[in-house]
């Protein structure tokens, strides 16, 4: 059997439609079944399937040898399906999310319990574990075929699948679905792989090879998914760049604050728009960073911030240490902000490694009540060519620092939103020295 990457090479280099159709026929069942489980609608699942293979056609030349094509398709299916479900909600169309199965046996009952959570559970697995589960259970590959795709021995493939299955069982248990490993295995073997509808392979191949043959909905899904995939690439290869959304300039952001400005008590300084100082941010802070894209969680990580405020607090210098998603040494980045024009403007210098660039922003809010040990600053950074705007808020209350933002990526057809939230506490050793501030 011709290797997937040889088929991709034939298509990318020679535009061999026969090679691409072979790839579609080989993997369309996997993609359509995953799409159907995610979106719960037959027609929408076919559109998702079309979009996935259009993406494969466009990215064929970029997939490196060693990439497990089935695993890439499966993960791309999730991105497309998420985009599709968001579009469906926007049009206020209701559809069934998951097919309800009759409980005919213990295996049927197990499948009914795990099916609504299957895609999310599989996507929590690490790359090779996820590829092993996709190949073994969602494409019904034998262990020899799994081993060949993973580039390992048959014994190692069996061990990989066994461990991945146990990890899945633990993930389901955390969601309140407690099932024996043997029953999970039986349910996946019985229901994991499903055939695509008759004729879908030809329709999908035609749509991927010629965009004019694809439905408008499928092309819209392709466009939105490319944005989502770009963000996922940032997450897995340079997670610290996402912190620049909170700490650097040049992002594409629109902010909707849920925080209500406190009313100034009698004798206290009222809320003003001029920012006077960054001094309350001085010190070391540690905490948790969370990021969402549209309605879906993207990442959760840890961070340590060391902040200096020289020039009587008119400059804020931030050294940011970020936990590495690959388990390697933490990454370190540096940013600075300077107060300009009497506190109405900021100038930001971002670490070159983040690719965020430098820029000027406007101070939109400033509040400082020393008696309550509370300080807040908000800023706005317009993006070039009217593609959006960045707004974020830093809020310190006592030994807590809360940083939030909301990115809106604008395209001619729609907007995609990124929500970031960084909750920090002053490092204990630094809290004592700051008690008098």
DSSP string covering 123-138, please? HTS-HHHHHHHIIIII
Give the residue numbers spanning the domain of 104.
Answer: 4-234
pLDDT by residue (tens digit) across 215-239?
556 666 666 666 666 555 544 444 5
Q: Are residues 63 and 193 in the same domain?
A: yes
CATH code assigned at 349: 2.40.128.20
pLDDT at res. 271 = 47
pLDDT at res. 211 = 54
Which of 184, 217, 234 corresponds to the end of one domain? 234
- Judge whether residue 103 has pLDDT over 50: no
CA distance 432 to 429: 6
- The torsion angles phi and psi of 190, rounded to 5 degrees, stand at -80, -35
- Judge whether residue 23 has pLDDT over 60: yes
Neighbours of 295 (CB within 10 A): 11
pLDDT by residue (tens digit) across 345-366?
888 887 766 555 577 888 888 8
Q: Are residues 265 and 196 in the same domain?
A: no
Give me 184's structure tokens. 């999970």
Q: Are residues 198 and 264 in the same domain?
A: no
Q: Are residues 269 and 211 in the same domain?
A: no
Rounded (10°) angle between helices 42-59 and 69-90: 130
pLDDT by residue (tens digit) across 291-301?
776 666 666 77
According to DSSP, the residues that pair with 421 across neighbouring strands are 290, 404
Q: Are residues 294 and 205 in the same domain?
A: no
Tell me what percent of the residues of the chain surpass a pLDDT of 70: 68
Give me 180's structure tokens. 């024996």
- Average pLDDT across the chain, whole number: 76
pLDDT by residue (tens digit) across 411-422?
555 566 777 888
pLDDT by residue (tens digit) across 252-280?
333 333 333 444 445 544 444 688 899 99
- Judge whether residue 24 has pLDDT over 50: yes
Rounded (10°) angle between helices 4-14 and 17-39: 120
pLDDT at res. 98 = 37
pLDDT tier, 325 (very low <50, low <70, confident <90, very high otherwise): low
DSSP string covering 215-251, please? -HHHHHHHHHHHHHHHHHHHHHH-GGGGGHHHHSSS-
pLDDT at res. 124 = 86
Residue whose entry in the numeric block shows the structure tokens 């329709």: 203
| Closest C-alpha to 281, from 333, 340, 335 | 335
According to DSSP, the residues that pair with 406 across neighbouring strands are 419
Is the separation of the CB atoms in 49 and 35 below 8 Å?
Answer: yes
Is the separation of the CB atoms in 317 and 308 below 8 Å?
Answer: yes
Residue whose entry in the numeric block shows the structure tokens 């040990």: 373
Q: Are residues 257 and 361 in the same domain?
A: yes
The domain total for the chain is: 2
Is the separation of the CB atoms in 364 and 382 below 8 Å?
Answer: no
Residue 226's alpha-carbon distances to 62, 210, 218, 232, in angstroms, are 14, 18, 12, 10
Q: Are residues 170 and 272 in the same domain?
A: no
pLDDT at res. 126 = 84
Which of 194, 216, 234 corresponds to the end of one domain? 234
pLDDT at res. 409 = 62
Tell how far CA 103 is from the center of its chain: 35
According to DSSP, the residues that pair with 361 across neighbouring strands are 346
Which of 189, 206, 234 corresponds to the end of one domain? 234
Q: Are residues 140 and 289 in the same domain?
A: no
100: left (phi over 0), alpha (psi -120 to 50) or beta: beta
More confident residue, 409 or 145: 145
CA distance 407 to 421: 12
pLDDT at res. 192 = 61
pLDDT by residue (tens digit) across 114-137?
888 888 888 888 888 999 988 888
Is the separation of the CB atoms in 233 and 80 below 8 Å?
Answer: no
CA distance 214 to 207: 4
pLDDT by residue (tens digit) across 168-216?
889 988 888 888 888 888 888 777 666 666 676 776 776 666 655 555 5
CA distance 298 to 377: 26
Q: Are residues 198 and 281 in the same domain?
A: no
Q: Are residues 175 and 290 in the same domain?
A: no
| Closest C-alpha to 394, from 359, 367, 426 | 367
pLDDT at res. 286 = 92
CA distance 72 to 74: 5
250: left (phi over 0), alpha (psi -120 to 50) or beta: left
Residue 333's alpha-carbon distances to 264, 285, 321, 400, in angstroms, are 36, 15, 7, 22
Q: Are residues 254 and 229 in the same domain?
A: no
Residue whose entry in the numeric block shows the structure tokens 């974020």: 392
CA distance 396 to 413: 38
Residue 225's alpha-carbon distances to 7, 178, 180, in angstroms, are 24, 33, 36
pLDDT at res. 432 = 45
pTM greater than 0.85 (yes/no) = no
Average pLDDT (327-353) is 78
Average pLDDT (84-112) is 58
Q: Are residues 222 and 263 in the same domain?
A: no
More confident residue, 65 or 328: 65
Give me 212's structure tokens. 């004019």
pLDDT tier, 307 (very low <50, low <70, confident <90, very high otherwise): very high
pLDDT at res. 425 = 93
What number of residues does the chain have?
A: 437
List of residues 6+ apart from 249 with CB closer than 8 A: 346, 348, 350, 356, 357, 358, 359, 360, 361, 381, 390
**Terminal Cα-to-Cα distance of the chain (whole angstroms):** 71
Give me 112's structure tokens. 């009914």
pLDDT at res. 33 = 94
């Amino acid at each position: 059997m011709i290797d997937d990457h040889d088929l991709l090479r034939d298509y990318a280099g020679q535009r061999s439609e026969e090679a691409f159709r072979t790839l579609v026929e080989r993997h369309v069942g996997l993609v359509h079944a995953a799409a159907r489980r995610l979106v719960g609608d037959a027609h929408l699942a076919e559109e998702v399937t079309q979009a996935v293979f259009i993406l494969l056609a466009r990215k064929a030349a970029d997939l490196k040898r060693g990439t497990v094509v089935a695993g890439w398709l499966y993960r791309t299916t999730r991105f497309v399906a998420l985009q599709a479900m968001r579009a469906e909600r926007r049009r206020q169309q209701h559809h069934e999310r998951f097919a309800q199965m009759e409980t005919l046996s213990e295996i049927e009952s197990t499948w009914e319990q795990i099916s609504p959570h299957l895609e999310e559970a599989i996507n929590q697995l690490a790359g090779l574990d996820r590829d092993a589960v996709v190949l073994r259970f969602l494409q019904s590959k034998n262990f020899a075929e799994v081993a060949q795709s993973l580039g390992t021995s048959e014994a190692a493939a069996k061990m990989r699948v066994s461990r991945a299955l146990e990890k899945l069982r633990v993930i389901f248990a955390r969601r309140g679905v407690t099932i024996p490993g043997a029953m999970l295995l039986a349910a996946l073997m019985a229901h994991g792989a499903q055939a695509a509808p008759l004729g879908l392979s030809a329709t999908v191949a035609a749509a991927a090879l010629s965009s004019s043959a694809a439905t408008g909905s499928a092309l819209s899904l392709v466009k939105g998914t490319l944005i989502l995939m770009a963000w996922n690439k940032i997450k897995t290869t340079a997670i610290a760049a996402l912190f620049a959304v909170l700490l650097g300039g040049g992002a594409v952001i629109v902010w909707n604050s849920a925080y209500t400005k406190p009313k100034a008590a009698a004798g206290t300084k009222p809320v003003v728009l001029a920012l006077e100082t960054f001094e309350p941010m001085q010190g070391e802070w540690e905490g948790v960073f969370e990021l969402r894209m549209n309605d879906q969680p993207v990442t959760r990580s840890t961070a340590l911030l060391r902040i200096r405020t020289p020039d009587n607090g008119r400059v804020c210098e931030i050294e940011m240490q970020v936990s590495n998603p690959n388990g390697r040494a933490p990454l370190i980045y540096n940013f600075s902000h300077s107060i300009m024009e009497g506190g109405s403007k900021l100038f930001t210098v971002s670490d070159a490694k983040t690719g965020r660039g430098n820029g000027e922003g406007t101070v939109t809010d400033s509040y400082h009540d020393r008696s309550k040990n509370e300080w807040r600053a908000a800023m706005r950074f317009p993006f070039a060519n009217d593609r959006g705007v960045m707004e974020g808020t830093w809020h310190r209350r006592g030994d807590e620092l809360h940083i939030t933002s909301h990115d809106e990526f604008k395209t001619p057809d729609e907007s995609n939103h990124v929500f970031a939230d960084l909750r920090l506490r002053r490092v204990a050793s630094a809290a004592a020295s700051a008690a008098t501030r």
